[in-house]
């Protein structure tokens, strides 16, 4: 810890860069949790639907892709945030 403070005193720019990189990583990781769970739900339900009614496979698959796409948007925010926060 003292070493960190020592480095910070010597080169404040480098410390800021390192910390923002850590922050960016955490931000993307956190942003990926929700969509991950959500996409799991979407695909799971779609598989249940397809198994129950195989004749509806086409429409269900299309709707599944749409659901994934909308759920994914939050993870994409995180992706952009990563590059913005990394600086």
Partner 1 sequence: MGFLLLAAENTTNVTAKNPIIPQGKEIFWGAISFVIVLALLWKFAFPAIKKALEDREQRIRNDLERAEEARREAEASLEEYRHQLAEARAEAGRIIEEARQAADQVRKDLIARAEADAAEVRARSREDIRLATERAMSELQERLADLSIELAEKVVERNLDRDTQMALIESYINQVSSAS
Partner 2 sequence: MLGAFTFPPIDELFVWKDVLFKGTPFALNKTGILVLASSAILVFLFIKGSRKMQLVPRGLQNIVEMSYEFVDRGITKDIMGPAAGGWTPFLGTLFFFILFLNIWEIIPGIQFPPTSRMAIPFYLALQSYVIMLAVGFKNQGFRYVTHHIFPPGVPKALYILVTPIEIVSVFLVRPFSLAVRLLANMMAGHILLTAMALLTAYALTNAPPIAIGPFLLGIAVTGFEVLVAVLQAYIFTLLTAVFVAEGMEPLEHH
Of 7, 19, 66, 84, the residue at the interface with partner 2 (CB under 8 A) is 66
Most distant pair of Cα atoms in the chain: their distance: 68
Q: Which is nearer to partner 2, 5 or 19 (CB)?
A: 19
CB-based contact 68:17 (threshold 8 Å): no
Binding partner of residue 21 among partner 1, partner 2, none, CB cut-off 5 to 8 Å per kind? none
Of 7, 47, 56, 76, the residue at the interface with partner 2 (CB under 8 A) is 76
| Nearest approach, Cβ of residue 75 and partner 1 (Å) | 15
Question: Interface residues with partner 1 (CB under 8 A)?
Answer: 80-81, 83-84, 87
């Amino acid at each position: 810890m003292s070493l960190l403070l020592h480095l910070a005193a010597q080169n404040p720019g480098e410390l800021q860069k390192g910390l923002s990189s850590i922050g960016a990583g955490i931000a993307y990781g956190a942003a990926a949790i929700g969509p991950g769970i959500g996409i799991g739900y979407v695909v799971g339900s779609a598989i249940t639907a397809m198994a129950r009614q195989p004749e509806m496979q086409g429409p269900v698959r299309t709707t599944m892709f749409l659901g994934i796409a909308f759920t994914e948007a939050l993870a994409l925010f995180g992706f952009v945030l990563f590059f913005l926060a990394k600086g």
